[in-house]
Structure 1
Amino acid sequence: MHPKLLEFLAGCRDEAPLQLGVLPFGMICGIASLAAGMPAWLAQLASAIVFSGAAQLVIVQMLAVGSGAAPIGLTAGLLGVRHVLYSVSLADYVRHLPRRWRLLLAYLLTDEAYAIAILRYQAQTAAVHQSVPGTPPGNTAPGATGDAEGSPVRDLRHWYFFGCGLTLWFTWQVSTAIGIVFGATIPADWDIDFAVPLTFIALLTLLIRERANQAAATAAALGALLLAALPYNLGLVGAIILGLMAGALSTRLARRTRLAREASQ
């Protein structure tokens, strides 16, 4: 089997378990879109264009109460800030790719796809650096992902990322369509909203292995509790900012510590 296809299928396989939480999440978005008065075709089109569960839910909820375009755009933009951080985290790994690839992966970049793909990038890059220190993140090196004779091979991890993102995209479109078509027949006592926090809890357990992520998660959690009384959900925005600051500070301190250790050697 071709190495590109192997990477793609590996991404699909590793992303698949998270679809158990994505499926009801997409159904909720489809149901909420119809409840807000959107026609079915527009709800499905929005799911394909926006492709962001949290933003889609907020948009349809604000449409339902008659919010204007400016508040809706601002709120959706704030919710999308985290994707900028994901992009920064992945930039060094995809910088060598053609623009068409970077645009495609940017479109497919979601919480779930990032959580799986970044672990793959970090694991293989760590192996590369152990074998050949100083190797750029986007490259491979002998002894890490080389062939049987130790020769370098082309980095195909973007195919893995593509598999992760496309798996989630397909599930999201199908689940939204299910919510649109069958949402009215789902009994009211089926509380499927629980899938939303469960999905993000699963992602959190994958991403808090490093100190910077642990610091960001802790600061954001404390901020959400301390600022919960603020109106207009501003406590959530404040918690995001605190988490970002804590993560950035932790990363900077870790970098300084590593450089000092290397200098002493």
Structure 2
Amino acid sequence: MNTAVAAVRTTVRDPAFRWGLKDMLATSLGIGAWGLVTGVAMVKTGLSAPMAIFMSLVVYAGSAQLAVLPLMAVGAPLWVVWLTASCVNLRFIIFSSMWRNYFHPLPRRQRLAVGYFSGDVIFVAFMKRFPQQEPRPEQVPYFWGAASLNWLCWQVPTITGILLANTVPLSWGLGFAGVLALLGVLLSMLFDRASWIAAAVAATAAIAAFALPLKLNILVAIAAAVTAGLLIEAADRHLRRKPQVLLVPADGALPPAERERVEQGDVPLREERHP
């Protein structure tokens, strides 16, 4: 116990822990509003307060929770609910493959904790802070700084919304506030071409499939966005790895700058020697 307390104290005192807190402040208001709306929505859908709190603490996946609530409200089959939640969370497979490059030296228990506390906004902030995919001492305290604030900004408003759901009038327009909060969080996560195109594909697919029963347009939009994102990233990797021809004199050597690019793996070069 003393060892665990000492480890937590060391992590909290690390400057990188404060970096994580600072980087999450920009989205904390949107996360809180999103959590409040989700808490109210869970109770309005028909969940009891204890079950809603249990779902919030155990599932801890705002996108999946919001995606399945309309399905639960209309009495969708359980397989549709599970499939929708699984599709929404498919992105965490990609996240975990990226986290592995940073956290693979950690014990399994700590890696499982990272998996539970990780989230979209944390992932984006972490990758911006540490673009080089290699373990560094400050990465763990940074992650816990960001994760602790993100967890509190989600759970406290969510539980507040659950407990006060029956006293919150619909005239407050929390549904629209939730949409605005989600939009703000979404825009903060669109940082490259693949994410922008995936978002556009998701919106188009959701509108095109709006007539499907049981709100299956959500499932269609998720599948289309994930597919588009993966295809774009695969195409980008292929273009980056496309060999470039470099003509080198027969008695010469590869220029140092180009040799460094090859060693770093930035661009594979095909060396052709000519007399």
TM-score bin, normalised by smaller chain: 0.7 to 0.9
Q: Report the 3-state secondary structure (helix = DSSP H, G, I; strand = E; otherwise coil) of the residue aligned with 1:96.
A: coil
Match of 2:134 in 1: 138
C-alpha separation in 1, matches of 2:161 and 2:182: 20
C-alpha separation in 1, matches of 2:100 and 2:198: 20
Counterpart of 1:163 in structure 2: which amino acid? Answer: G
Where does structure 1 lack aligned partners over 5 or more consecutive residues?
126-136, 140-153
Cα separation, partners in 2 of 1:171 and 1:183, compared to 1, 3 Å: same
C-alpha separation in 2, matches of 1:98 and 1:251: 30
Q: Which has the higher strand share?
A: 2
Match of 1:246 in 2: 228
| Match among 28, 32, 43 for residue 41 of structure 2 | 32
| Match among 125, 128, 137 for residue 155 of structure 1 | 137
Match of 1:47 in 2: 56
Cα separation, partners in 2 of 1:92 and 1:65, compared to 1, 3 Å: same
Cα separation, partners in 2 of 1:250 and 1:103, compared to 1, 3 Å: same
Counterpart of 1:189 in structure 2: which amino acid? Answer: S
Task: Give 1 or 2 for the bigger CA radius of gyration.
Answer: 2
1:215-258 superposed Cα distances (whole Å, 9 cap, x missing partner): 32333333334333333333332332332233222222222222
**Structure 2 contact 36–157 (Cα < 8 Å) conserved:** yes
| Match among 185, 192, 211 for residue 193 of structure 2 | 211
| Match among 4, 8, 28 for residue 19 of structure 1 | 28
**Structure 1 contact 90–118 (Cα < 8 Å) conserved:** no
Match of 2:210 in 1: 228
C-alpha separation in 1, matches of 2:66 and 2:202: 22
Cα separation, partners in 2 of 1:194 and 1:95, compared to 1, 3 Å: farther
C-alpha separation in 1, matches of 2:203 and 2:192: 17
| Match among 159, 174, 182 for residue 192 of structure 1 | 174
Where does structure 2 lack aligned partners over 5 or more consecutive residues?
1-8, 245-266, 271-275
Counterpart of 1:71 in structure 2: which amino acid? Answer: V
**Structure 1 contact 115–203 (Cα < 8 Å) conserved:** no
Matched, 1:112 2:124: no
CA RMSD of aligned residues (A): 2.8
State the TM-score, normalized to the length of structure 1: 0.76
Match of 1:183 in 2: 165
Shift of residue 168 of structure 1? 1.6
Counterpart of 1:28 in structure 2: which amino acid? Answer: V
Alignment of 1:51-130 (within 5 A): 51-122=60-131, 125=132
Shift of residue 62 of structure 1? 4.1
Cα separation, partners in 2 of 1:209 and 1:86, compared to 1, 3 Å: same
Cα separation, partners in 2 of 1:257 and 1:108, compared to 1, 3 Å: same
1:191-231 superposed Cα distances (whole Å, 9 cap, x missing partner): 12234333343344333332333332333333334333333
C-alpha separation in 1, matches of 2:29 and 2:217: 29
**Structure 2 contact 74–214 (Cα < 8 Å) conserved:** no
